[in-house]
Amino acid sequence: MKKKDIVSIIQNTATFTNPIIELEQYCIDASSAVDLIYFAGFEFNDIKNHIIFDLGAGTGRLSIASALFGAHSVLSVDIDWSTLLILRENIINLELDHIIFPVCSDLNNFEVSEFFVENNKNITSVMNPPFGVKTRAADRIFLQKAFSFSNVVYSIHLAGEKNRKFISHFIKESSWKIDNIIAFNMILERSYPFHNQKVKKIKVDIYRFIKK
């Protein structure tokens, strides 16, 4: 499939109906979702035939992009049951329910068995975590959890030198390091009543984390 065709497919999936501001539920735009997975899949071969964990999956755009780029299987983890129902509707409509598996869980309670990790060396985590606007350092648990079972992690965070220093310091004592940072413009569509713009462009960084 051509990249533009995958963008079109994802653009037409259902999004949040009643997003929860406390969870910072924003739907990643289709182009950004595909660009992230395209980068992971074609630059580093981290998608095809890999087991993908989409943490904070929302309505499933990163999950769907991963499946369309040849993932072996995708576990789409989100705390919000109503959001996972939308994700499930999307994957059924696209006939991807044999590849993508929704999991409703708080990441604080989400565990992956050591046996599973030891016997699967191609585990990639992708995520668009909360930026910490409502809850400071909300993205920290996402990174900690992904590091506990993944072989490589792709994550979207707000751009800026301050944030880069924070993330670099946060992982300094871990067995992980930043391999790549890609500056990116992500489009946020109006999601809440207090939004006064139909779309807003924000600067983000896509991080690729690997084990030291």
* pLDDT confidence bin for 198, thresholds 50/70/90: low
What size, in residues, is the chain? 212
Q: What is the pLDDT of residues 62-78, one digit of tens each?
A: 999 999 999 999 999 99
* pLDDT confidence bin for 138, thresholds 50/70/90: confident
Q: Are 179 and 209 in contact (CB under 8 A)?
A: yes
Q: Are 62 and 127 in contact (CB under 8 A)?
A: yes
Q: What is the pLDDT of residues 22-44, one digit of tens each?
A: 767 688 899 999 999 999 999 99
* pLDDT confidence bin for 2, thresholds 50/70/90: confident
- Radius of gyration of the chain from Cα atoms? 16
Q: Are 80 and 20 in contact (CB under 8 A)?
A: yes
One of 3.90.1150.10, 1.10.1270.20, 3.40.50.150, 3.40.50.720 is the CATH number of 3-211, namely 3.40.50.150
The answer, yes or no, to whether residue 195 has pLDDT greater than 60, is no
